[in-house]
Structure 1
Amino acid sequence: MTVDEAARVPVVIVGAGPVGVTAALLLARHGVRSVVLERHRDVYPLPRAVAGDDEIHRILQAAGVGEEFTAISRPAGGLRLLDARHRVMAEFRRSRQGRHGYPQSSMFDQPELEGLLRAELARRPGCELRGGVEVTGVGPDTAGPVRVTYRDDTGDHELWAEAVLGCDGAGSLTREAIGGLWEDLRFEERWTVIDAETTGPVRCWEGVDQVCDPERPGTFMRVNDTRYRWEFRLRDGRQTVRELIAPWLPPSYDGDFEVVRETQYTFRACVADRWRGGRVFLLGDAAHLTPPFVGQGLCSGLRDARNLTWKLARVLRQGADERLLDTYESERRPHARHVVRLAVVMGWAMTGGQDGAAATRRRVLAALCRVPGLTELAGRDLGRPLTAGPLVRRGLRRSLAGAMCPQPWVSVDGRRSRLDELLGDSFTILTGAEPSPALSALARGLGVRTVPVAGLGDGGTLAGWLRAGRADAVLLRPDRVVLDVVPTGGHDFTDTAAWAPLLHTTRGPQPPPRTVEQSLLRSTAP
């Protein structure tokens, strides 16, 4: 067993999938060094996740690959429900410009995304990826340093970390180490997934098709110019790929057609009963498994990373209260559970189920799809506000607390950028009114910027958002969630005493170098 002083690191991340690497990049933005341990030496080459929403695009922007992801992704038109004869029952349209500043839905190839993330990781001096290793142990899960053991070609090694992030998938060793168990949300189906390349005339539209046929439910989408995906629930007997995809190709098509991957998955709906043991945390599939019917599996994992990393950085680098880390599970677990349950409901509704009530459910679904406005309502994004808690003050009706701030393009001193690039990685007070003396004093005490929305050149987007939420000002967390609100006509936040102690730090921050956009805020700092 090899151990030396170099084996002591702030954070060890188990798993170098999109969630683990994104977590490392976000930690680096906050000045926290990490070591990522991964059993594969290179990016796993076969496609898996293919869909994401505008919120995860915003998270990838924070990780440093937002524009690169734009280049490899394709905006998707939304979701269509088809009957067994492939007639359109309903459409759920998605906008090309969501509230987070990106298309509401995008298609992409996961290996390409992972390549972008790993390339960015290699450019960050505070991040280290060790591939081709097998993690053999994590623990103990105490408040002190956590021991991580792993094996590579040279033998057995150990690291001691201030925190460990388990991003190691459904069969997570990290979850086992903290004694986490699955809460079964009662959905399990075997599906076959087919990824294919062809330049042939595939019948498709610019979104996802869901065939609501209990005999052979299926999902179909175009990923890019030549890549397509089909998913079918398995039945007794076996159909060939050509038999399964025949409805989408011309009869007797004999042109180019390459099956990139054909595999079987068991779709499950589960949430871990605990996401934290001391300084060991679960993220992504280690914490929750989501059926694919609302395209939120990867999205939920990236939300985990965004929620946890700024809190962990504040504790590790600034000595914030350890209780701040408790809010990770209390905020993310209810939201993840909601998404998983929604995926289960949508799955049963869209596939028709396998029991005697399937026909009834299909008739009810068809009737609901004809209700005016319902499809527009169902097409809204899934990033619903966080539930009330220590870092989400929900004292007022229609409060913005817990919601994410929209991200328009802004312009300061003639320079245009997205809002998040302007605000940087810290807390921010956005205000639509002249700050009161109490608010200015609080800003100075917390060491946060006060940014008037009137001077941002965003076409009134943020001012309108504040008015609709009946707020004169909001306190944004580093993940762009509204922590607290100054109500219209008010002078201060609604309940400072409830959250300020969690953010109190025992030492000054050591921020990473300021970007050009961040430096523009000097003129608006208190």
Structure 2
Amino acid sequence: MSRTEQQVPVVIIGAGPVGVTAALLLARRGVRTVVLERHRDVYPLPRAVATDDEVRRILQAAGVGEEFAEIARPANGLRLLDARHRVMAEFRRSEHGHHGYPQTSMFDQPELERLLREALARNPQCELRSGVEVTGVGPDTAGPVRVTYRDDDGEYELWAEAVLGCDGANSLTRDAIGATWEDLRFEERWTVVDVRTNADVRCWEGVDQVCDPHRPATFMRVGEDRYRWEFRLQDERQPVRELIAPWMPPSHDGDFEIVRETQYTFRARIADRWRSGRVFLLGDAAHLTPPFIGQGLCAGLRDAYNLTWKLARVLGQGGDERLLDTYESERKPHTRHVIRLAVAMGWAMTGGQDGAAALRRRILAAACRIPGLTAAAGRDLSPSLTAGPLVRRRMRRGLAGTHCPQPWVALDGRRIRLDELLGDSFTVLTAAEPWPALNALAHALGARTIPVTGLGDDGTLAAWLRAGRVDAVLLRPDRVVMDVVPAGRHDFTDTAAWAALLHTTRSTLPLQQTAEKSLLRSATR
């Protein structure tokens, strides 16, 4: 018979990077979590090896930005090579991206998981229960959600206000809510080889994609003496040393350790639904991305950042339940776009072995010689969010739905990253001195109003607002621009669309409270 425990705010199933990051982000907003994980320790073998500057900003928000910097290695970008390893195209990535970090960083996933778990252990709002098997989620009701699990001592059940399924491609949570896979038509078997060696490996400090239909491959340097190769499987098996010979010195008798050699099926899939009531899917439970642009883990961490601030607002600050609907409506189109980019890169690499494959490669090679094309393709892999209740986009290329840049700013004689100044809630950034209506609206949201002049950021934010032709922006807690005040106007473009979703129970002075209620009431008419 199961032992029933008291209700907890949030149960997270899976203590991989997505699940633990979600727990840390919720903890910063005062939401307690219990994380259930079947493994007793961090999975010891390397899996994900690349991340981008947006996700490094998320790790900063989770409180592990500095620790991650110590294990990360900036990368130059991506090169496409032909079958003879001649460079067809080079997509450079900057060491100073929009989010304040290198646009591409290499890392060892077990090291990332260890520092995330260390942060989890230090946080009293988080509890990790490892070595347990989750056996059930649901049923789907309007009230708390039941989660059952067992360990060596027996069976238990928890009741949660919300459940986050971060339990991977074979997700029990996905089955529990009745979600099914949509196949995006890419499936290939590859072998992945991680090597540690002191050899002088030929490397440009970036990622190489070999566009050879007979032996497509990916190569990258992960650490000081760590390298990864990925090869599409053929009918015949070749020894590892033969496969990696084109990158190695002609004769090498030094250290050479195969850390891991395994086979994966790379797939492109997306779940048809990511939510049922208060049960949500995140990461590989919701989508599978081929690894060719290094966005698999990145997509899962973006899920966590998008959902956690909304969930915290609903659970603790009077946010409307409809706010949670925007998780899937925002993240699913974004993820589909990224998966299609990865599939396109996969087809550029492999392209099949028919007569059209050679033509496709010639077209690719010719396209890569067009001035400016590779530079444009090498920009952010993360598109802006589509228009919706929390993205009030009036212009196709406006700031709404994009991320605010993160320059270094000055505070009390110290240089800090912008997000350390902004805090964890909403923020109004304005190019001019705040006016009364702007201050009232900001106060109703629990937001800070910050003029961008005098921040010591070398004018980065002022130039960004000017380029967007706005006098002020409203930033969500995930640093996405929700709404703007166009240049020359004095109010946001569409307050009525989002005000009702974000109403708050925070206490204020009576006169202020009356003014704020009046403002929000008029905005939602």
CA RMSD of aligned residues (A): 1.1
Structure 1, 249-258 or 20-29: larger mean CA deviation: 249-258
Counterpart of 1:347 in structure 2 is 346
Contact preservation (8 Å) 2:3, 2:155 = no
Q: CA deviation at 1:90?
A: 1.1
Q: Does residue 122 of structure 2 align to residue 102 of structure 1?
A: no
Counterpart of 2:419 in structure 1 is 420
Counterpart of 1:168 in structure 2 is 167
**In 1, Cα distance between equivalents of 2:87 and 2:163:** 47
Counterpart of 2:302 in structure 1 is 303
Q: CA deviation at 1:412?
A: 2.4
Counterpart of 2:214 in structure 1 is 215
Structure 1, 186-195 or 252-261: larger mean CA deviation: 252-261
Counterpart of 1:44 in structure 2 is 43
Aligned to 1:16, what secondary structure does the other structure show?
coil
Q: CA deviation at 1:352?
A: 2.7
Please list every run of 5 or more consecutive structure 1 residues that lacks an aligned counterpart in the other structure: 510-526
**In 2, Cα distance between equivalents of 1:77 and 1:143:** 49
- Cα shift readout 1:308-333 (whole Å, capped 9, x = no counterpart): 00000000011210000000000000
Q: CA deviation at 1:456?
A: 1.0
**In 2, Cα distance between equivalents of 1:432 and 1:487:** 11
Contact preservation (8 Å) 1:321, 1:505 = no
**In 1, Cα distance between equivalents of 2:364 and 2:425:** 45
Q: Does residue 10 of structure 2 align to residue 11 of structure 1?
A: yes
Please list every run of 5 or more consecutive structure 2 residues that lacks an aligned counterpart in the other structure: 509-525
Contact preservation (8 Å) 2:318, 2:502 = no
Q: CA deviation at 1:413?
A: 2.8
Matched AA of 1:429:
V
Change (3 A) 1:188 1:354: farther
Q: CA deviation at 1:21?
A: 0.2
Aligned to 1:406, what secondary structure does the other structure show?
coil
**In 2, Cα distance between equivalents of 1:148 and 1:447:** 33
Contact preservation (8 Å) 1:318, 1:508 = no
Counterpart of 2:237 in structure 1 is 238
Q: CA deviation at 1:447?
A: 2.6
Matched AA of 2:300:
G
Counterpart of 1:157 in structure 2 is 156
Counterpart of 1:273 in structure 2 is 272
- Cα shift readout 1:403-453 (whole Å, capped 9, x = no counterpart): 000000000232221000111100000000122332222223323110000
Matched AA of 2:273:
R
Structure 1, 251-260 or 484-493: larger mean CA deviation: 251-260
Q: CA deviation at 1:7?
A: 3.1
Counterpart of 2:260 in structure 1 is 261
Counterpart of 2:518 in structure 1 is none
Matched AA of 2:91:
F
**In 2, Cα distance between equivalents of 1:346 and 1:18:** 25
Matched AA of 1:117:
L
- Percent identity over the alignment? 81
What aligned pairs does 1:140-155 form with structure 2 within 5 A after superposition? 140-155=139-154
Q: CA deviation at 1:8?
A: 1.1
Q: CA deviation at 1:507?
A: 5.2
Q: Does residue 366 of structure 2 align to residue 367 of structure 1?
A: yes
Aligned to 1:261, what secondary structure does the other structure show?
strand
Contact preservation (8 Å) 1:49, 1:298 = yes
Matched AA of 2:466:
R
**In 2, Cα distance between equivalents of 1:229 and 1:143:** 47
Contact preservation (8 Å) 1:412, 1:455 = no
Contact preservation (8 Å) 1:196, 1:259 = yes
Q: CA deviation at 1:128?
A: 0.4
Contact preservation (8 Å) 1:19, 1:302 = yes
Matched AA of 1:178:
I
- Cα shift readout 1:54-108 (whole Å, capped 9, x = no counterpart): 0000000000000110100000000111111111111111111101000000000
Contact preservation (8 Å) 1:37, 1:129 = yes
Structure 1, 14-23 or 389-398: larger mean CA deviation: 389-398
What aligned pairs does 1:49-198 form with structure 2 within 5 A after superposition? 49-198=48-197
- Cα shift readout 1:447-485 (whole Å, capped 9, x = no counterpart): 311000002111100000000000100000000000000
**In 1, Cα distance between equivalents of 2:467 and 2:349:** 35
- Cα shift readout 1:158-204 (whole Å, capped 9, x = no counterpart): 10000000000000000000000101000000000000100011111
**In 1, Cα distance between equivalents of 2:460 and 2:278:** 40
Aligned to 2:453, what secondary structure does the other structure show?
helix
Counterpart of 1:410 in structure 2 is 409
Counterpart of 1:497 in structure 2 is 496
Counterpart of 2:397 in structure 1 is 398
Counterpart of 2:385 in structure 1 is 386
Q: CA deviation at 1:397?
A: 4.9
Counterpart of 1:20 in structure 2 is 19
- Cα shift readout 1:120-163 (whole Å, capped 9, x = no counterpart): 00000000000000000001123310000001010111100000
Structure 1, 296-305 or 441-450: larger mean CA deviation: 441-450
Aligned to 1:24, what secondary structure does the other structure show?
helix
Aligned to 1:268, what secondary structure does the other structure show?
strand
Contact preservation (8 Å) 1:180, 1:275 = yes
TM-score normalized with structure 2 length: 0.95
Contact preservation (8 Å) 1:210, 1:350 = yes
Structure 1, 47-56 or 84-93: larger mean CA deviation: 84-93
Counterpart of 2:515 in structure 1 is none
Counterpart of 2:325 in structure 1 is 326
Aligned residues: 508
Contact preservation (8 Å) 1:142, 1:277 = no
**In 2, Cα distance between equivalents of 1:324 and 1:146:** 19
Q: CA deviation at 1:357?
A: 1.7
**In 1, Cα distance between equivalents of 2:422 and 2:301:** 20
Aligned to 1:502, what secondary structure does the other structure show?
coil
**In 1, Cα distance between equivalents of 2:507 and 2:53:** 34
Aligned to 1:335, what secondary structure does the other structure show?
helix
Q: CA deviation at 1:373?
A: 0.4
**In 2, Cα distance between equivalents of 1:447 and 1:40:** 40
Structure 1, 444-453 or 308-317: larger mean CA deviation: 444-453
Counterpart of 1:518 in structure 2 is none
Counterpart of 1:248 in structure 2 is 247
Matched AA of 2:217:
G
- Cα shift readout 1:369-410 (whole Å, capped 9, x = no counterpart): 100000100100112110000000012353210000000000
TM-score normalized with structure 1 length: 0.95
Aligned to 2:184, what secondary structure does the other structure show?
strand
Q: CA deviation at 1:508?
A: 5.0
**In 2, Cα distance between equivalents of 1:281 and 1:327:** 12
